[in-house]
Amino acid sequence: MLKYLFHFLTGYVIIKIEGKGIENFLNLLSSEKIYIGRLKKRGNLCSTGEINPAFYHRVKLFARECGLKISVFKRGGLPFALMRLKKRKAFLAGFFVSVFLLLFLCSRIWVIQIDETDTEKRERLEAVLAENGVVCGMPRRDLKPFEVQKSVLGSNDEYSWFWIDVKGTVASVRVRYKKQPPKITDSYDICNLIASKDGIIEKITVRNGNAEVEKGTAVTKGQLLVSGVLPNDIMSAMYVHADADIIARVKRTASESASLIVAERIKTGKTEKKYSISVFGKDFNLFLKSPDFKHYDGNIREKRFKLFGNYYMPFVIRTYNYSEVKPVPTRIEPIVAEQKLKDAMYGELKNTIGEKNILSATYETKRGDNEVTVILNAECLENIGTEAEITFEKKPFVPKDISKSTITG
SS (H, E, C) the chain: CHHHHHHHHHCEEEEEEECCCHHHHHHHHHHCCCCCEEEEECCCCEEEEEECHHHHHHHHHHHHHCCCEEEEEEEECHHHHHHHHCCCHHHHHHHHHHHHHHHHHHCECCEEEECCCCHHHHHHHHHHHHHCCCCCCCEHHHCCHHHHHHHHHHHCCCEEEEEEEEECCEEEEEEEECCCCCCCCCCCCCEEEEECCCEEEEEEEEEECEECCCCCCEECCCCEEEECEEECCCCCEEECECEEEEEEEEEEEEEEEEECEEEEEEEEEEEEEEEEEEECCEEEECCCCCCCCCCEEEEEEEEEEECCCCCEEEEEEEEEEEEEEEEEEEECCHHHHHHHHHHHHHHHHHHHHCHHHEEEEEEEEEECCCEEEEEEEEEEEEECEEEEECCCCCCCCCHHHCCHHHHHC
What is the distance between the alpha carbons of residues 26 and 305, in angstroms, rounded to a whole number? 55
Q: Do 172 and 196 lie in a common domain? A: no
Answer yes or no: is 200 within a domain.
yes
d(CA 293, CA 61): 83
Measure Cα distances from 320 to 269, 273, 287 in Å.
16, 6, 11
Are residues 286 and 342 located together in one domain of the fold? no
The CATH number for 63's domain is: 3.30.70.2280
- Residue 125 backbone zone (phi > 0: left; psi -120 to 50: alpha; other: beta): alpha
- Which pLDDT belongs to residue 406? 39
Half-sphere exposure in the Cβ direction for 183 (13 Å, CA): 3
Instruction: Please check whether residue 93 lies inside any domain of the structure.
Output: no
- Residue 168 and residue 129 share a domain: yes
Instruction: Say whether both 296 and 232 belong to one domain.
Output: no
Assigned domain for 89 exists: no
Q: In this structure, is residue 97 part of a structural domain?
A: no
| pLDDT value for 8 | 72
Are 274 and 232 found together in one domain?
A: no
Question: How many other C-beta atoms are found inside a 10 Å radius of the C-beta of residue 151?
Answer: 16
Q: Are residues 164 and 233 in the same domain?
A: no
Last residue of a domain, one of 149, 177, 205: 177
Decide if 407 is inside a domain.
no
Residue 49: domain span: 2-82
Q: Please tell me whether residues 357 and 390 are part of one structural domain.
A: no
Instruction: Judge if 337 and 317 occupy the same domain.
Output: no
Beta-carbon contacts of residue 319 (< 8 Å; ≥ 6 apart): 273, 274, 275, 300, 301, 302, 303
Asked if residue 376 is part of any domain, the answer here is yes
Nearest CA to 248 out of 409, 385, 114, 101 is that of: 385
Domain count, the chain: 5
Short-list 265, 388, 242, CA closest to 324: 265
Residue 126: CATH number of its domain: 3.10.20
Task: Mark whether 73 and 132 lie in a shared domain.
Answer: no
pLDDT of residue 318: 92
**Alpha carbon distance 173, 162 (integer Å):** 8
Specify whether 124 is located in the same domain as 147: yes
What is the structure's pLDDT at 351? 92
Can you give the pTM of this predicted structure? Answer: 0.57
Asked whether residue 100 is assigned to any structural domain, the reply reads no
Structural domain includes residue 43: yes
Residues of the chain falling short of pLDDT 50:
394, 402-409
